[in-house]
Chains A and B, each alone.
Chain A
Amino acid sequence: MMDAIPAGRHFVDPAPFEPEAGPEGGAGNASAWRLIARKFLRHRLAVASAVILLLLYAIVPFVELLAPYGQARRNGDFLYAPPQGVHLVHEGGFVGPFVYPYRAHLDLDTFRRDYKVDTAAPQPLRFLCRGDGYDWLGLVHTDLHLVCPPENGTLFLLGTDKLGRDLFSRLIYGARISLTIGLVGVAISFTLGLFFGGIAGYFGGIVDAGVQRLIEVVRSLPELPLWLALSAALPPSWSPLLIFFGITVILGLLDWPGLARAVRGKLLALREEDFVQAAELMGASPARVIGRHLIPNFMSHLIASATLSIPTMILGETALSFLGLGLRPPVTSWGVLLNEAQNLAAVQLYPWLLVPVLPVLVTVLAFNFMGDGLRDAADPYH
């Protein structure tokens, strides 16, 4: 056909006309997700937060490898030992990473243990070494650790608690629980929010009114007293692992109304669009219309709001465990660790017991910044 047009009169581009195509594949023909990614990457703080979170979550499968001690290992001679510094240079000479050993003795006046640093004998750390044994992911039995205390020495990077357990190791073990609980809790509240918001927005009328009232009731309840009541209701006979799941469900149960509201609002607006009518006319079931045609339209918003509610869960778990109604030992979370720092004596005498608040702070902030970035990026056409 093209060849049939007499040459020389007009120039006609033989390629089919595509109004969307910009020069060099610009914004015009990139997919929505690609645009979101592009916009997100420009938000530097959010990207940095995402990287921090990735690193934190990368710890989760390898806690046993990274922790110098096993989580139940007690060092009876070193109760409430202060943090031990890692040094590189001894008497002007480079030795590589080492620690100075502690000499412990009991002060009979105050009944406190004093720890003197013995700077005469540096003890080099060992790397990729044998330590306390563990079952990695329940599959492989091994005793490999990334870093171990020196031979006949100790390595308490963040000090020890009242039973002489290494706080740094427990912090790493706690990361696994504290970081997972947020994700699982959000998964639960996400499901509930999608379901309730979905039916309210799609069906409208009585269903909508009912869900709206339910949302109002749940939202007007102060979270903490309710969390307390629900976790007090968990049977004491449950194993610590079951309690962990119970607490996660409790945290998720009260968090969905915000998400449900967002879903409902979006659905109410989108329901009137032509493509919904088209899908309905072709016989799509409500579940398919909601799940296949409506929700993908605002999935990015949902992910952003879900990200923003993870910190609430992490803080909630911390608060519950702090009050002794949350997770129970031997399950170790950051909240459980903080529970031991509950009294003024800890603040005054053993301030290193407060260190678990730092990872909580970093995680919560990172989720907040990343969530903000995602929310800004969620609507790439704006």
Chain B
Amino acid sequence: MIAAILRRIVTMAATLLVISALVFIIIKLPPGDYLTNQILELRATGDASSVAKAQLLVTQYGLDRPIWQQYLMWIGVMPGAGGFSGLLQGDWGWSFEYDKPVADVVGDALWLTLLINLTAVVFVHLVAIPAAIYSATHRNTFGDAVVTLLGYVGLAVPGFLLALILLFYANRWFGLSIGGLYDSALTNRPWTWDKIRSLLGHLIVPTLVIGLGGTAAMIRRMRANLLDELAKPYTVTARAKGLPPLKALLKYPFRMSLNPFVADIGNLLPHLVSGSVLVSLVLSLPTVGPLLLDALRSQDQFMAGFILMFVAALTLVGMLISDLTLVWLDPRIRMGLR
């Protein structure tokens, strides 16, 4: 079991390494970069001290070196002007646009991104599992049709538009305040009960929107799994022997149908993270989404690179957790029989 976990973690590290290379290539793809443009501009205005400062940044982050050296410095396996200082050492680079270290700019946004995604995962499961059980046990009834229809709509409506419309009506009908993650009056206050309540109120719309697409897919898959299990002879036997219906459902068939479901979290997570970025942009939530879009537009390369790495790492860690859950859930995997 421990060997399996270790193997899994090593694979994850290797995957992250490949991803870091991909991310670096992508952020280097657009011709030109922020600093070069800025230096040209500063030269034109003749501001000597600013030019010197920009030049300092260039040497510090090795922007005048070959691209493979820049990459190695960025991930922190090659010493730059100030020794080893890269992602591995916890130095996430410099945001040229904000003229601050990336860590200072993203700060809280990381936690809020994590929070939103976590809420979305919980929401998906809380909704999808009961809905799927209902749908499978009441097959071909009106309720089943409604669940299926809602699922399909969740699949087909573009999340950003749903966010926009929900935002509007949540405000008009329920007085849910819109935009941001808490009331603007509370922005610089410490975390009090009021602030937490405000945060929870603001989380409703984003969670719904981010979760809906994933919920639809989950319901469909889980319903199919459960229907397969319910048709198997052991379920019939259990019922024939007089096991209470709820127990005959939850104890064996449900547990069996959870398996592919958990395995599927790997597919779900990238979608949720994607969705959270998109929805954050529309609802102007202070997550990494809007920061990423800004950084990409202004070619703030370290900022964009770090955020891309962060969302990828978030996804990978989520997948790792889902794999470990699977190991815990399914003895066949635990014993290495599969």
Q: Footprint of B on A, CB under 8 Å?
A: 213, 216-217, 219-226, 228-230, 232-233, 235, 311, 315, 318-319, 322-323, 325, 338, 341-342, 344, 347-348, 354, 357, 360-361, 364-365, 368
Contact = CB atoms under 8 A, between A and B. Distances in A.
18 contacts: A217-B15, A220-B312, A221-B315, A222-B277, A225-B277, A225-B311, A228-B293, A229-B296, A311-B156, A318-B158, A319-B160, A323-B160, A323-B281, A344-B168, A347-B164, A347-B165, A368-B155, A368-B156
**Residue among A217, A219, A235 with max Cβ neighbours from chain B (10 Å):** A217
Contact of B274 (A217, A222, A348, A364): A222
B18 interface: yes
A52 to B, nearest CB: 13
A232 B34 CA distance: 14
A357 B26 contact: no
Given A319-B158, A344-B168, A230 B277 contact: no
Contacts of A364: 155-156
B158 A357 contact: yes
Given A223-B270, A229-B304, A341-B164, 16 more contacts: A213-B14, A220-B19, A220-B270, A221-B19, A222-B277, A222-B311, A229-B27, A235-B31, A311-B155, A315-B158, A319-B278, A323-B293, A357-B158, A360-B158, A365-B152, A368-B152
B157 interface: yes
Interface string B304-338: 10011001100110010000000000000000000
B62 interface: no
B181 interface: no
A344 to B, nearest CB: 6
A29 to B, nearest CB: 32
A235 to B, nearest CB: 6
Contacts of A233: 26, 29-30
Contact of B160 (A235, A322, A347, A365): A322
Interface in B5-62: 11, 14-15, 18-19, 22-23, 26-27, 29-31
A226 B23 CA distance: 9
Nearest to B32: A235
Contacts of B15: 213, 216-217, 220
A378 B308 CA distance: 38
A226 B305 CA distance: 11
B293 A222 contact: no
B270 A222 contact: yes
Given A222-B277, A226-B26, A232 B160 contact: no
10 interchain residue pairs of minimum CB distance: A233-B29, A224-B274, A232-B296, A222-B273, A364-B156, A222-B274, A222-B270, A347-B168, A233-B30, A229-B26
Give the residue among A226, A342, A360 with the most B Cβ atoms within 10 A.
Answer: A226
A338 B158 contact: yes
Nearest to B289: A225
A230 B157 contact: no
Contacts of B29: 230, 233
Contacts of B14: 213
Contacts of A342: 164, 282
A228 B296 contact: yes
Contacts of A322: 158, 160-161
B297 A222 contact: no
A109 to B, nearest CB: 23
Contacts of A226: 26, 308
Contacts, number: 119
A224 B296 contact: no
Q: Classify chain B's interface size.
A: 35 or more
Nearest to A318: B158
Interface of B: 11, 14-15, 18-19, 22-23, 26-27, 29-31, 152-153, 155-161, 164-165, 167-168, 178, 266-267, 269-271, 273-275, 277-278, 281-282, 292-293, 296-297, 304, 307-308, 311-312, 315-316, 319
A139 to B, nearest CB: 35
A226 B277 CA distance: 11
A225 B270 CA distance: 10
Contact of A230 (B26, B266, B278, B282): B26
Q: Which of B152, B274, B308, B311 has the most CB of A within 10 A?
A: B274
A342 B158 CA distance: 13
B274 A223 contact: yes
Nearest to A223: B274
A190 B36 CA distance: 40
Contact of A221 (B30, B178, B270): B270
Contacts of B153: 361
Nearest to A365: B156
Contacts of A344: 164, 167-168, 178
Nearest to B298: A232
Contacts of B155: 311, 364-365, 368
Contacts of A318: 158
B165 A220 contact: no
A232 B165 CA distance: 27
B105 to A, nearest CB: 17
A309 to B, nearest CB: 13
B30 A232 contact: yes
Contact of B30 (A216, A235, A341, A361): A235
Contact of A361 (B157, B168, B271): B157
A216 B27 CA distance: 21
Contacts of B161: 322, 338, 341, 354, 357
Contacts of B156: 311, 360-361, 364-365, 368
A360 B20 CA distance: 35
A381 to B, nearest CB: 19
Contacts of B160: 319, 322-323
A360 B15 CA distance: 35
A232 B277 contact: no
A348 B22 CA distance: 42
A322 B23 CA distance: 23
A220 B316 contact: yes
Contacts of A368: 152, 155-156
Given A222-B273, A228-B296, A323-B293, A217 B304 contact: no
A353 to B, nearest CB: 11
